[in-house]
Structures are given as C-alpha cells and as structure tokens.
Amino acid sequence: MLDVTFYRDSRDRLSSIFATGHAEFAEHGEDIVCAAVSAILQSARLGLESYARIPLDVRQESGTMRLHWPESTRDDEAVAAIAGSAELAVESIAAQYPEHVKFSRARDEG
C-alpha cells in the first residue's frame, strides 16, 4: 500500500509531505495508481523548488519521498496553493483506490 501523509504545523499550515510504499495496483512499471501519485508529488516538488523558489529538505529513493519546507515560507500563497493542490489530488486518488492508497493528515512534530 502507498501511504501518503500531509503534515501541518501548529498554525495549520502545510509543512511537509511524506510518502512511502507502493500502490500495488499492478506490476511495477504498469501501476497507474502509483504513477499518478508519484506525478502529483513530483509536480509539487518542482513547483515548490522552481516556481515558488523555496529551499526544500528532500529525501527521495524508490518507495519513499519526503518534502519539508521552512516555516518562513509557509505563508507564501504559491507554497500554500502548490502543496494544497497536491493534497487535494492525492486525497481524491485515495478515495478512488482505498485498497491501494492511504491518505492521512497529521501534525508536524518539528
């Protein structure tokens, strides 16, 4: 199962995204569910880095992606729009494929 969590800070602003696992909807390379979520998260990363031009703490390897952005950037409208759009898109996919994608929201611990 692909597990995606969107974290918010104490002021209810999106602060990070963590994804782990695989959707296991189909064979590796054929999994449209995993590909869709991956594309959304990659787009969020590109938008935050290239459009909003914020420094990201990124950890990415096969089956894992973590994006975390500085507190000083969280009130930026572009940051909120990019991260919020990714949140809505992943939530929608998880609703369509609940056996393959687990979507959750949590409080940022740090």
Q: What DSSP assignment string belongs to 29-88?
A: TT-HHHHHHHHHHHHHHHIIIIIS----EEEEETTEEEEE--GGGTT-HHHHHHHHHHHH
pTM of the model: 0.94
pLDDT at 110 over 80: no
Angle ∠(78,83,87) on CA atoms, nearest 5: 145
Nearest CA among 97, 98, 110, 99 for reference residue 18: 110
Per-residue pLDDT tens for 49-91?
999 999 999 999 988 999 999 999 999 999 999 999 999 999 9
Just give the CATH number of 2-107: 3.30.70.1490
Whether the Cβ atoms of residue 40 and residue 86 lie closer than 8 Å to each other = yes
State the Cα–Cα distance between residues 2 and 37, nearest whole angstrom: 9
Q: Of residues 14 and 26, which shows the higher confidence score? A: 14
Q: What average pLDDT does the segment 32-58 reach?
A: 96
Question: If DSSP codes are grouped into helix, strand and coil, which group holds residue 14?
Answer: strand
pLDDT for the residue numbered 14:
97
